[in-house]
Amino acid sequence: MAQYTQDELVFIDETSKDERTLSRQRGRAKKSRRASMRGVFVHGRYLTAVAAMSCNGIIASHIIEGSLHCKGFLEFIEHSVLPHCTAYPGKHSVLVMDNAWIHHGAEIFELMERFGIVQSMLT
C-alpha cells in the first residue's frame, strides 16, 4: 500500500449491532457455583452501518436495518462512494477493504474497473 498517496486512499468498512452487542459471552463465579447473567436475551433491531473514509474524513455512510449483502454493498459503492472518486491515480482512486465476502463479488470488481478505481484488499 506504500505505493499510493494518502489522497488516493479511501477506506471502507462495515459494522453491525443488535441489543446483545455489549453482552458478555463469559462470566466468573465462585468455585462450584454457576455464573449467572442478567440482561437482554432478545435480538431486537439489527442495524448495519457502512462507511467510506478518506484522510479528510467520512465521504459516504449508510445505515440499514438487517445485514448488508452484496447487492446493498454494490449500491452503496455505486451511488454513495463512486461520485466522490476519480480514476487512478486521482484523488480517492484506491478503495481499501478487508476480506469480507461481500467485497469479492464479480460485479464489484467490474464496477470499479469501469470507473478506473483500484481495489486494495487488506490481508
Could you give the CA distance from residue 60 to residue 111 in angstroms, rounded to a whole number?
17
pLDDT band at 23 (very low <50, low <70, confident <90, very high): low
What per-residue confidence (pLDDT) applies to 25? 64
Tell me if the pTM is above 0.95: no
What per-residue confidence (pLDDT) applies to 29? 81
Which three cell numbers mark 14? 462495515
Over residues 66-121, the pLDDT tens digits come to 999 999 999 999 999 999 999 999 999 999 999 998 888 899 999 999 999 999 99
79, 72 Cβ separation under 8 angstroms: no
The average pLDDT across 51-74 equals 95
What per-residue confidence (pLDDT) applies to 31? 87
**Average pLDDT over the chain, rounded to whole?**
89
Q: Which domains does the chain have, with CATH numbers?
A: 6-19+43-121 (3.30.420.10)
Order of strands across the sheet that contains 118-121: 57-65, 47-54, 9-17, 94-97, 118-121
